Amino acid sequence: MKKIVFEGTEEQIENLKLLLEHGDNDLPKLKENYQTENLWCVEDVQGMFECTDEEALDLCHRALTNDATIEQIWFAMDFEGEEMGLRKNDEE
pLDDT in tens, 36-56: 667 788 889 999 999 998 899
Report whether 19 contacts 30 (CB < 8 A): yes
Instruction: State pTM to two decimals.
Output: 0.58
Flag whether 90 is in a domain.
Answer: no
Flag whether 52 is in a domain.
Answer: yes
Flag whether 72 is in a domain.
Answer: yes
What is residue 4's three-state secondary structure?
A: strand
Flag whether 3 is in a domain.
Answer: no
Mapping DSSP onto H, E and C, the string for 33-60 reads: HCCCCCCCEHHHHHCCCCCCHHHHHHHH
CA–CA separation, 5 and 62 (whole Å): 10
Q: What is the pLDDT of residue 2?
A: 66
Flag whether 39 is in a domain.
Answer: yes
Flag whether 92 is in a domain.
Answer: no
Q: What is the pLDDT of residue 78?
A: 96
Segments forming the whole domain that contains residue 48 = 10-83
CA–CA separation, 83 and 79 (whole Å): 6
Flag whether 16 is in a domain.
Answer: yes
pLDDT at 5 over 90: no
Tally the domains of the chain.
1
Flag whether 40 is in a domain.
Answer: yes
pLDDT in tens, 10-43: 777 777 777 777 666 655 565 666 666 677 888 8
